[in-house]
Amino acid sequence: MATSGDDPKKKKQDGKLVSRQDHERDYLAKTTGKSLAEIEKAIKAVGPSREKVLQYLKGK
């Protein structure tokens, strides 16, 4: 059974969203230089949109 991560039709959408998985948060922390707590705060504040999370983090 294929999961949503395996479905090629959903890959485009998955690339636009930030999940709460450890590797996603670690990647954002590494690329932005922010702490995991700041990443979590950004996700809670603006939602799972990768673009909005990055904009939020740049504004801080």
Per-residue pLDDT at 1: 47
Of 14, 17, 59, 51, which Cα lies nearest the Cα of 34?
59
Q: How confident is the model at residue 16 (pLDDT cuts 50, 70, 90)?
A: confident
Each residue of 26-59: pLDDT tens digit?
A: 989 999 999 999 999 999 999 988 899 999 999 8
Of 16, 19, 40, which Cα lies nearest the Cα of 29?
40
β strands within the chain, DSSP E = none
**pTM of the full predicted structure?**
0.70
What does the CA dihedral 11, 12, 16, 18 come to, rounded to 10 degrees? 0
